Amino acid sequence: MPSLALTQRSATELKRINQAFYDALWSGARLVDPSRFNTWPMVRELAMALPRRLEIAPGLRPRLPLDGTYFVDISLAALHELRSHGASAARASIGALPCADESFDLVCALDILEHVADDDKALRELSRVAAPDARMLLSVPLHESAWTAFDEFVGHYRRYEPGQILRKLESHGWSIEQSAIYGMQPTSKTVLGLGQWYLTHQRERALWWYNRVIMPLGLRLQKPLKWQRGMPACEGVDELLLLCRRA
């Protein structure tokens, strides 16, 4: 679970840590087209059916189509690259979206909630900008017992227990329609420790390897995702992709 030092960080400090990490990551990266991710078969029909779309903090790994989607991110490097590819993008955070009430039919926030201190505020904003019959795509890391120093290093504030994220979504008026087992954090503490050391002491070199070698290889090795109704059995699952609907 999060360390005491992490839980005592202010929301401002947490935002600064996240922005510094991801600005460095995206400054040396190229935008990856959404169709190259294993999420694409799952979101393609949704995107075609729901033309008013918002994706929050995609960095240079957007999952929704660039054409017709409105993107929000805090990284200037990411915003510059998104706009250079013709996307509409604004600088803002999930806690203060520059969008009108009920203005989107599909809202996407992958790997975001765990990065903010006040996830209820974030969910209130997502709910505010979502239309009455909107869909929401979320992904969250699971199990406090799986917390590592790497979570802290990349700016995570928490991991969720399956029942916890279910109840939290329900309290904000969302129900889980479908879910998929998503993402896989290396279980080797040695690998995680080595990655953290290089990112701390040789960040430029580590990010070059990540963006030019590890990321392209990871795209080739992606496994197909499969929707199932409701929540799956989550023992040993590192991360969930959730498709939610306004209750």
Q: Are 7 and 36 in contact (CB under 8 A)?
A: no
- pLDDT, tens digit, for every residue of 139-195? 999 999 988 877 887 788 999 999 999 999 999 999 999 999 986 555 556 656 666
- Alpha helices by DSSP H, the chain: 4-7, 11-27, 40-49, 76-84, 119-129, 149-153, 162-171, 189-201, 203-209, 215-220
- pLDDT, tens digit, for every residue of 192-243? 666 655 566 566 776 666 667 777 778 888 889 999 999 989 998 999 999 9
- Of the candidates 94, 120, 119, the residue with the CA atom closest to the CA atom of residue 108: 94
Phi, psi of 161 (to 5 degrees): -80, 145
Q: Are 50 and 106 in contact (CB under 8 A)?
A: yes
- Per DSSP bridges, beta strands 104-110 and 130-141 are parallel
pTM of the complete model: 0.85
* Dihedral angle of Cα 205, 114, 116, 127, to the nearest 10 degrees: 130
Q: Are 55 and 34 in contact (CB under 8 A)?
A: no
Domain locations in the chain as residue ranges:
4-186+223-246
- pLDDT, tens digit, for every residue of 3-32? 444 444 566 777 777 777 777 777 777 899
Helix or strand (DSSP H, E) at 182: none
Correct CATH for 4-186+223-246 of 3.30.530.20, 3.40.50.150, 1.10.357.10, 2.40.128.20: 3.40.50.150
